[in-house]
């Protein structure tokens, strides 16, 4: 009436270290100890969240620790049978976000985030959110800094910064504020040729007191910036064939303002 099963064994743990939110894959044999399910998994004494479990693979999400700790991995079945790997898991010191520069901006703003242990045991940064919004792109990263480009947000919004490693581990901190979006109000004239002097008016084109307009393109063609401030930009059109496209104004912070189909290059005149 009773059968002793072969004892379960953990063969591999990937990764073997992490922080809060790390996705951990545990491989082995008889991991359920003959039961139908796992009741609990602990990593260095801290209960993890069970994502999936079979007799050969168990995936969990770590729930973090306030300090660096090495301890056992314990798989407890719903029959109370256990499979243990001694000193199989290490909780790393939690990451910290120490500063943002700048701490506010608009679409296109280049944001430098500094901190400690930002990779959280991983090899890359998977995702970053500023005040709840996913960034447009991650430009650069290391264990001590992450550089991103802010996405668009229609109105002023403040919130935390969230950094997620490729292991699933994440941290939140700092404070980021999306400023009211910049707008282009008028483009005069809205059509022209190479050498045409164009005046662009708008609001909040530059938000930094020391900021400048660094680039303007008309229908995909770089223009020569003659003058620029937060409400007024003067440019000279470059050379292009007959085409219509966006007016794009870029500030020194990286903040970008777009007026869709705002300028038309017209065919060059000729004397016959």
pLDDT tens, 110-120? Answer: 999 999 999 99
Quick check: 265 pLDDT over 90? Answer: yes
Are 199 and 171 a contacting pair, CB within 8 Å?
no
CA distance 205 to 185: 11
Helix or strand (DSSP H, E) at 72: strand 69-77
Question: What are the pLDDT digits (tens) for 206-264?
Answer: 987 788 999 999 999 999 999 999 999 999 999 988 899 999 999 999 999 999 999 99
pLDDT above 70 covers a percentage of the chain that reads 98
CB 5 within 8 Å of CB 83: no
The DSSP line for 133-179 is EEPSEEEEE-SSEEEEE----SS-EEEEEEEEETTS-EEEEEEEEEP
pLDDT of 156? 81
Residue from 15, 195, 193 nearest 120 by CA: 15
For residue 198, give Cα distances in angstroms to 11, 186, 220, 229.
69, 10, 15, 14
pLDDT at position 169 over 70 = yes
Q: Per-residue pLDDT for 4 more than 90?
A: no
Residue 199 tokens read as 């005046």
Residue 153 has pLDDT above 70, yes or no: no
Q: What is the dihedral of CA 62, 65, 69, 70, to 10 degrees?
A: -10
Model confidence at 172: pLDDT above 80: yes
> pLDDT confidence of 2, banded at 50, 70, 90?
low
Residue 8 has pLDDT above 90, yes or no: yes
Per-residue CA distances from 73 to 45, 93, 129, 158, 257 (Å): 8, 18, 32, 40, 52
For tokens 């104004």, name the residue. 249
| pLDDT on residue 271 | 78
For residue 154, the model assigns a pLDDT of: 67
Three-state DSSP state, 86: strand
Average pLDDT over residues 14-43: 96
Please enumerate in sequence order all residues whose Cβ is within 8 A of that of 199, keeping only pairs 6 or more positions apart, or say none.
186, 187, 188, 232, 233, 234
Give the burial class of 208: count Cβ atoms within 10 A of its Cβ; 0-12 exposed, 13-18 middle, 19 or more buried.
middle
Q: Average pLDDT of the chain?
A: 94
| pLDDT score of 1 | 67
Q: Which of 154, 256, 156, 151 is nearest to 205 (CA)?
A: 256
pLDDT at 155 over 80: no
In this model, does residue 5 exceed pLDDT 80? no
Do 156 and 180 contact (CB within 8 A), yes or no?
yes
**Residue among 101, 47, 35 nearest 74 (CA):** 47
């Amino acid at each position: 009436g009773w059968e002793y099963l072969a004892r379960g064994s953990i063969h591999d743990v990937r990764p073997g270290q992490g922080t809060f939110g790390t996705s951990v894959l545990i491989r082995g044999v008889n991991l359920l100890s003959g039961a139908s399910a796992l009741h609990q998994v602990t990593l260095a004494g801290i209960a993890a969240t069970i994502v999936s479990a079979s007799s050969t693979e168990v995936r969990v999400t770590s729930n973090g620790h306030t300090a660096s700790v090495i301890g056992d991995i314990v798989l407890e079945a719903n029959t109370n049978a256990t499979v243990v790997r001694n000193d199989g898991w290490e909780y790393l010191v939690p990451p910290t976000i120490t500063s943002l520069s700048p701490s506010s901006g608009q679409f296109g703003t280049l944001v430098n985030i500094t901190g400690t242990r930002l990779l959280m045991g991983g090899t890359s940064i998977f995702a970053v959110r500023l005040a709840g919004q996913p960034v447009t792109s991650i430009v650069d990263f290391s264990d001590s800094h992450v550089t991103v480009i802010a996405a668009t947000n229609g109105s002023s919004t403040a919130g935390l910064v969230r950094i997620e490693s490729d292991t699933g581990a994440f941290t939140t901190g700092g404070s980021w504020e999306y400023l009211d979006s910049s707008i282009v109000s008028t483009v005069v004239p809205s059509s022209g040729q190479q050498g045409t002097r164009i005046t662009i008016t708008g609001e909040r084109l530059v938000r930094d007191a020391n900021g400048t307009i660094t680039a303007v393109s008309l229908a995909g063609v770089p223009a020569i910036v003659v003058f620029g401030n937060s409400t007024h930009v003067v440019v000279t059109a470059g050379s292009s064939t007959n085409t219509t496209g966006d007016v794009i104004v870029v500030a020194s912070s990286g903040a970008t303002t777009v007026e869709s189909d705002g300028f038309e290059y017209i065919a060059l005149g000729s004397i016959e």
